[in-house]
Amino acid sequence: MSSTITYTVTGMSCGHCENSVSKELSTLTGVTEVSADAKAGTVTVSAAAPLDDELVRAAVDEAGYELVGRAA
């Protein structure tokens, strides 16, 4: 069962930021696509199975940014 979730991420301000977050999230098992948007402050993650939000948070933290939560 695949899933696509959009998260709110603070601290991204440019393409380099988007790439850093995308690269880190792409390493999570099952992730099939990542789309970061610095201007909107969001990251959309598609995966083959539901992701653990804490694993997503840890990956965003590792990239140097803060995951606020799931976008409304």
Residue in 8, 15, 11 with CA at minimum distance from that of residue 44: 8
**Which helix (H) or strand (E) segment is 19 a member of?**
helix 15-26
pTM across the whole model:
0.94
Residues 44-65 have a mean pLDDT of 96
The yes-or-no verdict on residue 72 having pLDDT over 80 is no
Please give the pLDDT value at position 1: 82
CA distances from 34 to 18, 70 (A): 10, 15
Per-residue pLDDT of 32-51, as tens digits, reads 999 999 999 999 999 999 99
What pLDDT score was predicted for residue 62?
97
